[in-house]
Structure 1
């Protein structure tokens, strides 16, 4: 699938690093470093603008190494880029670690995954079909 992209970041385009990769690294597009103190958030630009085809969405996901090693993750869990959005991709990072974290120009800050989705139409009913699980949730199968 071809996706149109505008790159104003002076960084290479995102790319898959291995044949099995589902995500591509997004890099910071900064003129000066950004320091994120513990439990603070920062909006980091990427300099990328994309045109996602209808029926698909872009998901911005955290990088596991940043989370494990530095406590840096996405403040919104997973960011959604709708197919009709044409603005710059920006990443909301939060520092859940104990130390200041500096984001520099070109740092890999998140991953971009393109996902197909289905739109639904709700059908209002009085009851739902029964399943073995039923209403069980929140640890009902044990530890």
Structure 2
């Protein structure tokens, strides 16, 4: 499993992708409407060949389907944002001061030194056992 910062970066990237997908959905499937009395919805007349080459830029959905899609996209954005908030809250250092973090690092360094000393001792013991085994094996004579 990835570390928390990588998870956070992945979640932020996914949120950005969701924003783009939401904007694309709204741009592609909205209903053409005028916003004021002076606005005009332009309808370009195209030949059959042009329609095959260039599909409609807006493929509007019925209002209820479009609203349901918007609601689902909004819920997905909220869920992803909550996941990001949870990841941020799990990051170390938010509740710890710099001194606490330095103390933790020193403690971990000491634990690492102790573990390294135990490892070196185990390597020495292994070498002694191997040397003893080698002496036993070489001292055995065939009948």
- TM-score > 0.5 by shorter chain: no
TM-score by length of 1: 0.17
Structure having the larger proportion of residues in helix: 2
TM-score by length of 2: 0.17
Structure having the larger proportion of residues in strand: 1
